[in-house]
Structure 1
């Protein structure tokens, strides 16, 4: 069987030309965009490669062939199924920017006697690292094909720490990358629980395995390789073990974007929130973009999905976004806090 510990997830970036053109027209015209209430998007089934946001969560879906699909459901829930016609696929929900967050998840995972993982999965840059915290797997243990660096005990279980290397292989930055893969593989398999991400990051660092300083996405992923199986997983931030938090009531929270001043390398956006005075607005920045400045709100994050909350200055705030060649407006969602 192919050693998946030394096989990368082949990530492809999709460029939607029509979306880019539409965004440029909207920005030039100063057209206002109203975001729907969070947690209100309909289920969406993916059968071709895509990334984006759905009901307040980042998602990624990739396959190289065959009959694999993933359905995006309420909040952080997704379901998936695949069969042996698929060479390799991976997908899940989570966050556009990885961090030392505590991640909880619950659901069902059906690997059978197959080569498949259930894992917290992400990437960093500077240096380029692909990492897994493997919670469950089928017939193939990824620790079989990687160099062992010890163990870490956390969240009620013991994980083997491992490293493998990929040379001239696909990655989030192209088709010919050289990078390390970091692994924490749980010895006691489970399909629901809490992952204290910082404990794995710190254990890797103590073993001399240093993640990059620039985090890309971080998702609770299902992966299958020349296999068949299914999963139905819900992920959320914070503790809580096996019970997802109750769905917040969206109320009438709406966030509306309008164009501000544009400069040679950056642009301003104004955000107007209506329907509630207690809100959380999520702005999903595109590739290459970063937050330079903000005003009239408490804003956290600089890349990926950034969040804004009231800071006593009312329901209107603004942001300055460094474009880095990407002039698309961010996605926006709003929920009542």
Structure 2
């Protein structure tokens, strides 16, 4: 991914263009979600910039006017823009997109043409994609071709495809498709099961590229005014410390564990674990910090803290655990072996 900023494409409708230009499910076969100790001070941006802050990738871009974005703790940012701004967009997220579960919360107050979306790019088919959670007076998919719908995370999302011809992209001037999922029931907070959108797009013949560029929770304003204060993190539940991801030890054979978020309470959260491809399995959960297992069901679970092992008990290949957070809401590392 380039570190240079791309000028906006001319358009008749509002467009997202950031920097170098969503019960949650996360497939893990040895994925490590580990806390990262960052304590960078708040930083306010009013000039075009990309980089990292408190463990998250960020991008800020504008073409004119008074727009600014303040980078805050963990995945939080706040923004403000007024009517002098032609077009601006910014947000926090990850330098590389994937089928992650994205959660976010905060406030979003647009006056006019604006929207809030999970936004990213792929290469090796160049695709620009959006999961639009909220918008102001203009639906950003207007004029696009409707390709179907998907029901996920408590709402129907309408699926659209549009094409840009000889337009600016993360790889210069190119012709490429844009994929859209636009939520019918607007919201400013919740969980986006990104994989459900990727799969629905694929069923509609809309294949993403094999090489993912960035993926951010972005606010945009186009000839409008407004403000936002958004916090984004990976996984379900409450945000924990700034997360980073790195490869872990792969599972043996085709054994794969699939995590999904269950209920959350003030001091604990439930996780569901589904084991795929095998029936004789051992799943290892590595808890974070002072977390411990309060309860489990549909598996024989050994241990309560640190490294916990689960095996079948005749109840099938899906089991659950209740984890006492003790202030750490990061999901455990999960591996699976036969």
Bucket of the pairwise TM-score, normalised by the shorter protein: 0.5 to 0.7
Deviation at 1:239, TM superposition (A): 1.2
**Counterpart mapping for 1:72-91 below 5 A:** 72-91=71-90
Residue among 9, 13, 32 paired with 1:4: 13
Deviations 1:172-227 (A, max 9, x none): 112x2111110000000000000000000000000011111000000000011111
Deviations 1:11-60 (A, max 9, x none): 447xxxxxxxxxxxxxxxxxxxxxxx723000011111111110011111
Unaligned 5+ runs, structure 2: 1-10, 22-35, 251-285, 287-329, 333-338
Question: Distance in 2 between the 1:282 and 1:121 partners?
Answer: 19
Aligned with 2:142: secondary structure? helix
2:192 corresponds to 1:195: yes
Whichever structure has more helix as a proportion of its residues is: 1
Does structure 2 conserve the Cα–Cα contact (< 8 Å) formed by 1:10 and 1:171?
Answer: no
Does structure 2 conserve the Cα–Cα contact (< 8 Å) formed by 1:143 and 1:185?
Answer: yes
Question: Distance in 2 between the 1:4 and 1:222 partners?
Answer: 16
Aligned with 1:4: secondary structure? coil
Question: Distance in 2 between the 1:245 and 1:281 partners?
Answer: 13
Deviation at 1:247, TM superposition (A): 4.2
Does structure 1 conserve the Cα–Cα contact (< 8 Å) formed by 2:18 and 2:90?
Answer: no
Residues matched between the structures, number: 229
2:91 equivalent in structure 1: 92
2:146 corresponds to 1:152: no
2:138 corresponds to 1:140: yes
Q: Which 4+ residue blocks in structure 1 deviate beyond 4 angstroms?
A: 10-13, 280-283, 297-300
Aligned with 1:144: secondary structure? coil
Deviation at 1:118, TM superposition (A): 0.3
Question: Distance in 1 between the 2:191 and 2:217 partners?
Answer: 11
Question: Distance in 1 between the 2:127 and 2:102 partners?
Answer: 20
Question: Distance in 2 between the 1:207 and 1:65 partners?
Answer: 38
Aligned with 1:142: secondary structure? coil
1:219 equivalent in structure 2: 216
**Counterpart mapping for 1:60-139 below 5 A:** 60-112=59-111, 114-139=112-137
Greater CA drift, 95-104 or 137-146:
137-146
Deviation at 1:9, TM superposition (A): 1.7
1:245 equivalent in structure 2: 239
1:56 equivalent in structure 2: 55
Q: Root-mean-square deviation (CA), in Å?
A: 2.4
Question: Distance in 1 between the 2:39 and 2:53 partners?
Answer: 9
2:167 corresponds to 1:169: yes
1:232 equivalent in structure 2: 229
Unaligned 5+ runs, structure 1: 14-36, 249-279, 284-296, 301-308, 310-334
Deviations 1:275-332 (A, max 9, x none): xxxxx8779xxxxxxxxxxxxx9489xxxxxxxx9xxxxxxxxxxxxxxxxxxxxxxx
Question: Distance in 1 between the 2:81 and 2:185 partners?
Answer: 25
Aligned with 2:207: secondary structure? coil
Does structure 2 conserve the Cα–Cα contact (< 8 Å) formed by 1:8 and 1:170?
Answer: no
Aligned with 2:236: secondary structure? coil
Question: Distance in 1 between the 2:64 and 2:249 partners?
Answer: 40
TM-score by length of 2: 0.63
1:328 equivalent in structure 2: none
The change in CA–CA distance for 1:281 and 1:129 in structure 2 (over 3 A counts) is closer
